[in-house]
Amino acid sequence: MNPRTTVVAALLLSSLHFLPPAFAQTLPPGVVKGPSVEGITEYRLPNGLKVLLFPDASKPTVTVNVTYLVGSRHENYGETGMAHLLEHLMFKGAPKHRDITQQFAERGMEFNGTTSLDRTNYYEVFAAGDANLKWALDMEAERMTKSFIAQKDLDSEMTVVRNEYESGENNPFGVLLKRIQSVAYDWHSYGRSTIGNRSDIENVRIANLQAFYHTWYQPDNAVLLVAGKFEPSKTLAWISKSFGVIPKPKRKLPPFWTVEPVQDGERNFTVRRKGDVQIVLVGYKVPSGLHDDADRLSFMSQIIGDTPTGRLHKQLVETGKAAQVFSFGLTGYQPGIQLFGAVVKLGQPIEPVRDELIAAVEGFAKTPVTEEEMERTRRNFANGIEKALNDPQQVGVAMSEQIALGDWRLLFQGRDNLPNITAQQVAEAAGRYLKRDNRTVGIFIPEDSPLRAEIGAAPTAAGILKDYKAKESNLTSENFDPSQDNIMARTEISQIGGIKAALLPKKTRGQTVAVDLRLHWGDEKSQFGKAMVSALTQEMLTRGTTRYTRTQLADELSRLKIAGGSVYQFETTRENLAAALRLQAHVLKDAVFPESEFEQLKQQWIVALEADRNEPATKAGQAMSEYFDHWPKGDPRAVMTIDEQIAEIKAMKLEDVKAYHRDFYGASHGEMSIVGDFDKDEATKIVQETLGGWQSKAPYARIPDANAERKAITRFIDTPDKENGFFTARMNVDLNTADPDYAALELANYIFGDGGLKSRLMDRIRQKDGLSYGGGSSLTAGDIDRAGSFTISAIAAPQNLKKLDAAIREELQRVVKDGFTAAEVAGAKSGLLQQRLQNRSKDNVLAGAWTNYLYLGRTFDFSKQHEERLKSLTAEQVNAAFRKAINPVQLSVITAGDSSKAK
C-alpha cells in the first residue's frame, strides 16, 4: 500500500481517550511551538530541527525516532547503497557514546534503523524513565553530527552490508523487484534498489560517505519524534539542551531535479536463476504519494490484491492457477511504481497467469468497484492505522513515511479525507495509469544452468603496451600551399572525350587521392516524370554488375581502399587508383540491376519515407518546399510530396530502371577532377580508355531554374506526440554568385546565422533566450540563373515555438534597422576566409570545387576575385546589401510541433 496511506487510512479515534490535555508550558529560549493534532505537537528549534512530542501515559515505554530526509534517491553515480551503508555506520559510535549497541543492551532497549527511497530513520524503544530518555536524546544529538564514520568501521561493516546484499540475491522476489525498478526507470534514482550495487558497496570511499553524512545529517534536515510515557516540558528542555547546541548549517541542500519521462511502451524482461518458484511481477508508473490519486490507487491496490478478499486471489489463487498473489506500491515523494504479482508453482505454465494478471489489472477501471469493496478497504485501513497509533513504536516508524512526504500532519489530513474517496474516483485513477504503454513485466524462471556471459576484468593500458615497439612511420606529405594561384599553377586542365578534366597531383600523407566525377544527360523534356527512376537507378548501381554480386563488389571496394560511399565521389590510394578508376567505369556502365535488390531497395526507401514523414522538421521543410514550388507535376524541378514519392516507388518496375540506364547513361558531357598522390598520365589514359568513348543516347541541355513570386505566409503544422518542434522560414532572393552584392550578402548571412554558435541568431535563441539547441540561416544564389533564397531554421520545444518565432523576427528586424557593426564584419571576414582556406586544404573538397568550376566555365581565379571582394567590404556595404535584399515582411514562416504541448 502507498506509504502515505499506510498511516493515512481511516481511523476511529475513540480509543485515544488517553491523550492528556494540552499542558501549560514555558518554552525554552528560541523554541517555537507549531501545530498540534490529536495529541501530537510540533516544535521547531532555532537550528531548524523539528520536534514532535506525542505523550501517551497508557504504556510504560517511550519511543525516540529520528527521521532524516535522505534516502537512496539522493545517491550519486558510484554511490548506490551509500545511504544504507551510512545507516550501519551510525551505530559505530561518537566521542561520548563509543559503543552504542552495548549501551542499548545495558538499558534493555529495542533499536533499529531503516533506509528507504526518501528517508532514513533510527529508533529506540525502552522502559519509561528520565535516565533512559535523557540518554537516548543525548546519544541521538551527538551522532547526528559527530558520528565517527571511520575507515576502520567501514572496513568491517562493508562485508556485513555486502552479506545483506548477498542474502537478497538468494531471494527470487527480491531479485525480481530490484530488476523491475531498473527496467521501469530510465533516469530517476527510484530505479535503483536501496541496497545498492555490489561493486559500489565494496569500493565506496570513506570520504564520499563522510561528505554525504555532513551534508544530509543536520538538524534542518531531520525530525525528532518522542512518543510514549514522558513529561513533555522536561523532555522539551532536554531536547533544547542536547540538540539546540548543534549549529544551524550554512550549506544549502542539493536540489533534486530529475523527472522521469513518460514511458512510451510496454517493457518485458526475464530473470533466470536457481529457485523453486516462478514469479510474475507487473509494474505501472504512478504519481507521488502527495498526489490526489495516491490514496485512490491504494484503495485499488487493496481491492485487487488483498488476500483472501481481493479480485486477483479469487481469479488466480482460488482457481488453482497461482499459489499466491499480491499488490503494493513502491512509492514516495517522487512518482513511484505500483506493483502486482503472482507466484506460480514450478512446472505450471506461467504465461497464462501473466496474461490473466495483466488483463485483470488493466481491466480494473472497467469493472465497477462495489460499495462492499470500498467499505471493506476503509475498514482494513482503519484497523491498521488504529493499531499503529496505539503503539508508540509503530507510530515512530510509520510517521517517518509522512515526514518524508513533507509533513507529519498528512497522516491526519489523509485520514480525514478517506470518507470522501468514491468508487468512481478509484476506478478513474486506475484507468489513468494501469495502461499497456505504462507497463513493465518481469518473470522469474528457475533454471539450474542459466546461460550467462561473465565479463572478465580488462588489463590496464600500461600492461598492454608493456612490450609494444612502434614501427617507424613512412607517411609523409608535401607542404602544399592552398592559395588559388598555387592551385591554378599545379592543375592541368584537359578534355578527355566528353569530359572536362582537372588533374592536380601532389604528395599526400598515406598517398591518398580524391576523385570527383559529374555526368550530365537529358533535358527538360526527356527528364519529365523521371525524377524517382533517376534516383533509384543511381542507388542500384552498386548492387550488382556483370562481374560482381553486391557482396563481391563491397569486398572489392574494401580491397581497393575506396571510401566515400559513392561511385561518383570517392577516395583511394596511389597504388589502387588505376584499379579504382576502372571499377568506377565498370559499375557505371555494366550494372545489371538484380530483381531481388530492386525490390529490397524499394521497400527500404518506402520505409525510410514513412518513418520520416511525421517528423516536425520533415513536415515543415516539405510544406515550405511545396509552397515555393511553381513547376508542373512531373517537371524535374518540381517538388514531390511524400505520398507522391511513395506511390511512384511502389508503381516502378525493374524495366523502368534498366530503360533509364540504357537510354540516358553515358559520358558525353561531364566533368572530372583528381586531386592527390597519382600519376596524371596514367590516370588520363585510364579515363580515356574507360569513359572516353561512352556516349549517352539522350541529347543534353541544361535545365534552367527560376523563382516565382510568393506572398509571405505563417503556418503551424500539428505533429502529435513529438517532444521537439521545428521552425523554418524562407524568402526568395534575386541573386547570382557573379553579382557585385553577392560577397556582401554572403558575409552578412555568415554574421546573422551561418557562422555556427557565434552568430546573431544563435546568440539570441541559444545563448540569451535558451530556446534552441541548434539553428542557422542559409543564403543560396544561382551560379547561372537568378534563383536565390534566404532561409532560417531552428529546433525548439513545441511550447517555445512562438517565442522562437518572435525572437528570430526581432533579430532580423534589428539587423535591418541597426545593421552589423564594423567589429562583426571584421570578425566574419576572418572566419569566413579561414574557413575557405581550410576547405581548399581538403583534397575531396578541392576536387569537388574543380568539377563545379569546370561545369561553369570558371577557374580558381573566380575564387580569388571573390575573396578579394570579401576582404575589401566595409560594414556600410554589408548593411546596404542586406537591407536591399532581405525584407522581413516577405518572410514565410512554417512551424511544426505537438499542438497540445505548444499550448
Write out the three cell numbers for 600.
Answer: 529490397
Q: Kind of pairing, strands 40-44 and 50-55?
A: antiparallel
CB-based contact 178:32 (threshold 8 Å): no
Spatial separation of the C-alpha atoms in residues 155 and 180, rounded to whole Å:
31
Q: Is 291 exposed, middle or buried (0-12, 13-18, 19+ CB in 10 A)?
A: middle
What was the pLDDT predicted at 383? 81
Contacting residues for 284 by C-beta, under 8 A, at least 6 apart? 337, 338, 361, 433, 434, 435, 438, 439, 440
What was the pLDDT predicted at 389? 77
Residues 584-609: b if buried by 16+ CB within 10 A, e if exposed: bbbbbbebbbbeebbeebbeebeeee
Sequence length of the chain is 903
What was the pLDDT predicted at 2? 38
The alpha-helical segments, DSSP class H, found in 699-772 are 742-749, 760-762
Rg for the chain (alpha carbons), in Å? 38
Provide the residue type at 343 as one letter.
V
Spatial separation of the C-alpha atoms in residues 207 and 690, rounded to whole Å:
72
What was the pLDDT predicted at 23? 43
Spatial separation of the C-alpha atoms in residues 695 and 668, rounded to whole Å:
5
326 CB-side CA count, 13 A = 15
Task: Give residue-wise pLDDT tens across range 778-791.
Answer: 999 999 999 999 99
CA 825 to chain centroid, in Å, comes to 38
Spatial separation of the C-alpha atoms in residues 247 and 219, rounded to whole Å:
8
Provide the residue type at 532 as one letter.
M
405 three-state secondary structure: helix
What was the pLDDT predicted at 108? 93
Q: Kind of pairing, strands 669-676 and 499-505?
A: parallel
SS3 of 127-159: the string is ECCHHHHHHHHHHHHHHHHHCCCCHHHHHHHHH
CB-based contact 502:680 (threshold 8 Å): no
Alpha-carbon torsion angle 130, 136, 140, 141, nearest 10: 30
Query: CA quadruple 544, 549, 552, 556: dihedral positive or negative?
Result: negative
What was the pLDDT predicted at 740? 95
**Ranges of residues in the chain whose predicted pLDDT is under 70:** 1-25, 392-393, 474
What was the pLDDT predicted at 393? 65
Task: Give residue-wise pLDDT tens across range 536-583.
Answer: 999 999 999 999 999 999 999 999 999 987 999 999 999 999 999 999
Quick one: the chain helix, strand, coil %, rounded to 5?
Answer: 45, 20, 35
90 CB-side CA count, 13 A = 28
Spatial separation of the C-alpha atoms in residues 436 and 267, rounded to whole Å:
9
Measured in degrees and rounded to the nearest 5, phi and psi for residue 144 equal -60, -40
Q: Which residues pair with residue 570 across a beta bridge?
A: 515
Spatial separation of the C-alpha atoms in residues 5 and 31, rounded to whole Å:
31
Phi-psi region of 93 (alpha: psi -120 to 50; beta: other; left: phi over 0): left
The pTM for the full model equals 0.81
Measured in degrees and rounded to the nearest 5, phi and psi for residue 442 equal -125, 145
Phi-psi region of 510 (alpha: psi -120 to 50; beta: other; left: phi over 0): left
